[in-house]
Chains A and B, each alone.
Chain A
Amino acid sequence: MRDQIESIYQAIQYIESNLENHISVADVADEVSYSLFHFCRVFNKITQHTPYNYLMRRRLSESAEALVESDRKIIDIAFQYQFNSHEGFSRAFKKMFAVQPNQWRKTGTIEGRQLMPRLTQAHLHHLHKGSYLEPTYREQAEFKVSGVMGLVKGKSNIIQDLWDIIVQVIRVQPEAERSDTFFGINTPTGEGIKGYFYMAAFEQHARQIRNLKLQQNDPCDDLRQIYP
């Protein structure tokens, strides 16, 4: 999947640098070393557009901006973006924007949401963020945390409650020693117990352990009352 996203992004870059040149979908497929049919399938899977559709919508969007940002003749802008005639351009323009090019020019403003922006790599990854997750691996030395733990079952809000307590604990820490690294730690329960244990915790530095004092209205007392 990641390889496909990279290839399609490369295809998009090629399209973008040729909005004003004559290119075919086959040219784009060749550029990324895909056979034409396979390219069309993968491009649509990754971008939810067909290659030709993307090319045309981008050309029309760029020409829409050109219409508003300059006084150039419509026919010149049409030729610039590889349309063969005023009629052909107007027809395609009206189909996409629901107005004729000269009417669009008269209004003088571009409605951002009507234009098709260039697809970015971030956009492609966002469309497929559920499809792959590659972790990195890190060795972690032993470290100490302090926190509050609860049992998470079903739709309980306990995680939010646990963090609310931690926030209050942090607030009463002397500023110089205030923790700035926090962990949400999942631990499985034993057999027969539904759910899992969740600990909202902060990193405990050695100095802090020595200086930790339980204060009046220790938020942990509240916790013990809620979750005996």
Chain B
Amino acid sequence: MKPIIIEKSQMTLLGFDFYGDPFQSSGGWSEENEIGRVWQRFERFLAQQSGLYENRRVEDVMYELHIEHEETRTQGVFEVFVGFEVDSLDQVPVELLVKILPPSTYAVFTLSGEQISSDWMMKIHTEWLPNSGFRIAHNYNFQLYDHRFKGVDNLAESSIDVYIPVTEDGDPS
């Protein structure tokens, strides 16, 4: 897996959030989990808005952000945020949460088809990171979904991008 390395300035995202065990109530016989539910809640909310939110940066790009907290490693709880990027915080509906991502260098991996449902994070950590000259910079990562994503039932024809915040190894910061 080979990424492209890009620099991004601060990002402002608006969306909905979940904190806890994403798979706690999977129900066993369906793909429903807390992450799916956040997406559905958010998409229903957007559908009810008259017109698209004006300050949205790019129309069909959505982000799924995973953030590690203190209990993440001990208990398997995560924060999962889904949303879109905006240029300003004017007139933000009160229902929406705001996430500010710091300026960062990112290693961007494009995943297609079966790769999307594989353990890509493990591959990134074992196959790319050790000899990359980079180390992990922050306790979050995100996936970018755009027109190349054809739905969970059609991963075979889909692509997404995974952004891993990195910094050059040996960089004192």
The chain A residues found within 8 Å of chain B, CB to CB, are: 24-26, 33-41, 43-45, 48, 50-53
Contacts and interface: CB of A to CB of B under 8 A. Distances in A.
B102 interface: no
A35 B66 CA distance: 13
A78 B26 CA distance: 30
B74 A25 contact: yes
B76 A50 contact: yes
Contacts of B119: 34-35, 38
A151 B80 CA distance: 57
Contact of A50 (B23, B28, B66, B72): B23
21 contacts: A24-B74, A24-B75, A25-B76, A26-B72, A26-B73, A26-B74, A33-B122, A35-B119, A35-B125, A36-B72, A37-B78, A37-B121, A38-B121, A38-B122, A39-B76, A44-B26, A48-B28, A50-B21, A50-B23, A50-B24, A52-B76
Nearest to B23: A44
A197 to B, nearest CB: 35
B22 A45 contact: no
B45 to A, nearest CB: 25
A216 B136 CA distance: 86
Nearest to B29: A48
B22 A40 contact: yes
Contacts of A48: 26, 28
Contacts of A33: 122
